[in-house]
């Protein structure tokens, strides 16, 4: 089965073609970072309009790259949610209309399920069951994965997601957008133990997260800093990143112990963070296998949607002609 995948949940237009026998045939991605950087964050209306401009050319690009005609497609997969409603509707409407025109099935994919399954595109994919840490700009979740479609939410952020906290902290420090890569790079110049940030919600039972207070702590630290220079920013970036990484590590260890699982999948944009990977890889010493998607598939992309969609289409799932988008959609609900 050859499936076209479409991802338009936020500020990246991703398209890919996945074949269940041959694997990933082609993928293309257009990022809107330069468009939104001047505003310091994503502007939903601009995101939607840019998806409209870029989506059709990207579809043709992956068709050409994979030597595939539209008539050779067996199905269409698109991100149905969660995400920005306008951005989602661009991909949903395009995907469903294309499938109707070609007389092939279409299926809506949960954006976070796409991230969760992204490591399946690697040469050494994880085996079920496993624990998943989904950590991105909009979500921070721990999920017990029994098999595809069988997910149990163990914990999630009660306020800012980790990626969101990175972006907001960077903005408070006067750094560029998006904040995650900028904070990570700056933290490499930071001195350890100059500042000690709290590890929120780690001194109480449970697996939920809270990162909102960390950005406030970072702002207060910056305002009280004796020298407001680049070194002080680097020291704060280092302390902030250390706190986020330690918090994620502590909660992962706790979830692994409670669930008895021996495999950990880490996915989403923040999973590209080098410091986080270094710390989580130490779990290998405790008999835990840790899996990640390749770096280009940590952020939003069409390949993960094409793969997840292909699995659902193989199972006979498909969308009716009456379609919609779900800006809010708990992963464990379906």
What is the rounded end-to-end Cα distance, in angstroms, of the chain? 24
DSSP 183-213: HHHHHTTSPTTSS----TT-SSSSS-B--HH
159 appears as a binding residue in the annotation? no
For residue 176, the tally of other CB atoms under 10 A from its CB is 12
300 appears as a binding residue in the annotation? yes
Helix axes 44-65, 85-102, angle to 10 degrees: 30
139 appears as a binding residue in the annotation? no
- d(C-alpha 82, C-alpha 110), whole Å: 7
115 appears as a binding residue in the annotation? yes
- d(C-alpha 52, C-alpha 63), whole Å: 18
134 appears as a binding residue in the annotation? yes
155 appears as a binding residue in the annotation? no
110 appears as a binding residue in the annotation? no
Tally of residues, the chain: 334
167 appears as a binding residue in the annotation? yes
281 appears as a binding residue in the annotation? no
Residues annotated in the binding site, as ranges? 111, 115, 134-138, 167, 180, 273, 300
Residues annotated in the binding site for substrate, as ranges? 134-138, 167, 180, 273
Residues annotated in the binding site for Fe cation, as ranges? 111, 115, 300
């Amino acid at each position: 089965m050859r499936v076209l995948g479409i991802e338009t949940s936020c500020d990246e237009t991703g398209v890919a073609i996945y074949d269940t026998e041959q694997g990933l045939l082609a993928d293309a991605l257009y990022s809107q970072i330069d468009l939104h950087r001047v505003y310091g964050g994503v502007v939903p209306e601009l995101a939607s309009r840019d998806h409209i401009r870029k989506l059709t050319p990207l579809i043709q690009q992956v068709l050409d790259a994979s030597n595939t005609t539209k008539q050779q497609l067996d199905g269409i997969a698109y991100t149905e949610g969660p995400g920005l409603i306008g951005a989602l509707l661009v991909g949903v409407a395009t995907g469903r209309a294309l499938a109707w025109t070609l007389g092939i099935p279409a299926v809506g994919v949960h954006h976070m399920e796409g991230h969760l399954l992204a490591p399946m595109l690697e040469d050494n994919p994880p085996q079920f069951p496993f624990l998943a840490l989904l950590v991105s700009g909009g979500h921070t979740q721990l999920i017990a994965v029994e098999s595809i479609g069988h997910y149990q939410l163990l914990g999630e952020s009660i306020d800012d997601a980790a990626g969101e906290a990175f972006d907001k902290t960077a903005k408070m420090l006067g750094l560029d957008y998006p904040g995650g890569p900028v904070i990570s790079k700056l933290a490499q110049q930071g001195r350890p133990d100059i500042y000690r940030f709290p590890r929120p919600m780690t001194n109480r039972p449970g697996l939920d997260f809270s990162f909102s207070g960390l950005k406030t702590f970072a702002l207060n630290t910056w305002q009280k800093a004796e020298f407001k220079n680049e070194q002080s920013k680097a020291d704060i970036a280092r302390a902030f990143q250390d706190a986020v990484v330690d918090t994620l590590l502590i909660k992962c260890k706790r979830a692994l112990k409670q669930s008895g699982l021996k495999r950990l999948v880490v996915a989403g944009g923040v999973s590209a963070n080098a410091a986080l990977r270094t710390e989580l890889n130490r779990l290998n010493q405790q008999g835990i296998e840790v899996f990640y998607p390749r770096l280009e598939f940590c952020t939003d992309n069409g390949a993960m949607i094409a793969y997840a969609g292909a699995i659902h289409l193989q199972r006979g799932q498909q969308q009716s002609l009456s379609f919609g988008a779900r800006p809010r959609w708990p992963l464990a609900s379906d």
